[in-house]
């Protein structure tokens, strides 16, 4: 008889917590699909970058964090926000440009922050959040606050100067930061194999003298274990870790991307590795819930996102008087 994957989990979670994590994955999936729908209809403006297919990297990594721990996000950041505890009502309102949004409707998709939950913000600049995470970790170190900062970025960011400068400084100062590269195989339309000569981006950690690991970013157990080890290492003054989570974005780079640079066969192969289904199978095998319970959780998540749309659409638009508020000059 094969061992259940849940027995490999290094962190002890109650069944209720595991169900909550499963629901959070569906919250992200339904949020992103709803946003995709509204952009297609012209009901949301600007641009957006969806993380459908990448739910495990966000939910699994945030699952092992403490409340006071921080994260920095990316332009593809909705999943990180939700996984760190953001309210989907306020997120949806932000995308609709309403005053009840996290940035009062002024930030949009790429600039959601929730400091109360430790989310220091998404960032429209590729690699822009990496130095911010190092600054946050430096604050924790200098003030002896004992929190860890988790920094998310994509494979494309690892060729930016900010990546190398920040990792080197974090290593020199032995800072409590965990760098998570969500390698979804493409930087815009360019395959990562054409952009990086090495097989695993995590190997770059060797240059700076700290550990780097590559894992299956669609496997919740692997994500939770690897992140937990890195977070505990950072919290015990052993310095940074670089975790490369290999995953795949089902949608295009942004809303205008027709995905002409990859085949539908490739996409279908990755959809067979759906992180939500894989986690569901683990939980069913471990008797955490039944197939019927899983469906009920899925439907509850779907309803939460529908409710967030209602909240957003019923929220007020900014007025002309709001134009010059919350600005520096």
DSSP string covering 50-110: --TT-HHHHHHHHHT--TT-EEE--SS-HHHHHHTT--HHHHHHHHTT-TTSTTTTSS-GG
Q: Is 49 helix (H, G, I), strand (E, B) or coil?
A: coil
Q: Tokens for 216? A: 């299956």
The answer to whether 159 and 195 have CB atoms below 8 angstroms apart is yes
**Which tokens sit at 221?**
């157990």
Cα angle, residue 232 at apex, residues 228 and 238 outer, rounded to 5°: 135
SS3 assignment, position 239 = coil
pLDDT tens profile 296-316: 999 999 999 999 999 999 999
φ, ψ of residue 246 to 5 degrees: the values are -80, 120
Break the chain into its structural domains and give their ranges: 5-318
* Nearest-angstrom CA–CA distance, 175 and 237: 7
Q: List, for residues 90-149, the tens digit of each pLDDT value.
A: 999 999 999 999 999 999 999 999 999 999 999 999 999 999 999 999 999 999 999 999
User: CA-CA distances (angstroms) from residue 85 to 59, 78, 81, 88, 186?
Assistant: 10, 11, 7, 9, 28
Per-residue pLDDT tens over the stretch 241-264: 999 999 999 999 998 888 999 999
DSSP-based helix, strand, coil % in the chain, nearest 5 = 50, 10, 40
Does the structure show a pLDDT above 50 at 216?
Answer: yes
Contacts of 77 (CB under 8 A, 6+ apart): 49, 51, 110, 112, 122, 123, 152
Calpha distance 32→279 (Å, rounded): 19
At the fourth CATH level, the homologous superfamily of domain 5-318 is: Thiamin diphosphate (ThDP)-binding fold, Pyr/PP domains (3.40.50.970)
pTM: 0.96
| 3-state SS, residue 311 | helix
Sequence-separated (6 or more) residues with CB below 8 Å from residue 230: 178, 211, 241, 243
d(CA 239, CA 288): 35
Q: Give the angle 141-75-220 at the CA atoms, nearest 5°.
A: 70
Q: Is the pLDDT of residue 1 over 70?
A: no
């Amino acid at each position: 008889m094969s061992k259940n994957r849940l027995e490999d989990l290094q962190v002890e979670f109650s069944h209720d917590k595991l169900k909550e994590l499963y629901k959070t994955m569906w919250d992200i999936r339904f949020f992103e699909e709803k946003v995709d729908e509204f952009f297609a209809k012209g009901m949301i403006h600007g641009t957006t970058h969806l993380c459908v297919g990448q739910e495990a990297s966000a939910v699994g990594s945030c699952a092992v964090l403490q409340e006071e721990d921080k994260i920095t996000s990316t332009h593809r950041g909705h999943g990180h926000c939700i996984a760190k505890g953001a309210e989907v009502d306020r997120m949806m309102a932000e995308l609709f440009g309403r005053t009840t949004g996290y940035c009062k409707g002024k930030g949009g998709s790429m600039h959601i922050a929730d400091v109360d939950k430790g989310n220091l913000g998404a960032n429209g600049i590729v690699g822009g959040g990496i130095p911010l995470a190092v600054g946050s970790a430096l604050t924790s170190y200098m003030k002896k606050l004992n929190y860890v900062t988790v920094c998310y970025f994509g494979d494309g960011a690892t060729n930016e100067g900010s990546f190398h400068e920040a990792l080197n400084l974090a290593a020199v100062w032995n800072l409590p930061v965990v760098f998570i590269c969500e390698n979804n195989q493409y930087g815009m339309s360019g395959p990562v194999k054409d952009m990086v000569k090495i097989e695993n981006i995590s190997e770059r950690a060797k240059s700076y003298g700290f550990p780097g690991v590559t894992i299956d970013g669609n496997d919740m157990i692997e994500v939770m274990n690897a992140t937990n080890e890195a977070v505990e290492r950072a919290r015990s003054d052993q310095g940074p870790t670089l975790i490369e989570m290999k995953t795949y974005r089902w949608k295009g780079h942004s809303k205008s991307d027709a995905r002409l640079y990859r085949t539908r066969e490739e996409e279908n192969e990755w959809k067979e590795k759906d992180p939500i289904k894989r986690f569901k199978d683990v939980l069913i095998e471990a008797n955490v819930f039944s197939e019927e319970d899983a469906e009920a959780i899925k439907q509850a998540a779907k309803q939460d996102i529908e409710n967030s749309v209602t909240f957003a659409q019923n929220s007020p638009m900014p007025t002309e008087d709001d134009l010059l508020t919350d600005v520096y000059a």
